[in-house]
Amino acid sequence: MVVRVRCKQYKIPTGVKVLPDHWNMKMQVAYVGNRLSLLENSNNLIENERLDR
């Protein structure tokens, strides 16, 4: 995960990759839905759970 705070970039390892097309910029979560494969949905759910901690 890459975040910017006051124009400085920070990289935070999450252990899961989310494709840029699967990322909701407004809500800052990974998309989960029936248009994605089972594997992509599983990875995105894991990432969303890690972000909620």
From residue 14, alpha-carbon distances to 1, 2, 35, 46 in Å are 7, 10, 24, 10
Spatial separation of the C-alpha atoms in residues 41 and 30, rounded to whole Å: 9
Mean pLDDT of the chain: 88
Token code pair at residue 45? 């759910």
Collect the ranges in the chain with pLDDT lower than 70. none
Is the overall model pTM greater than 0.85, yes or no?
no
pLDDT, residue 10, reads 94
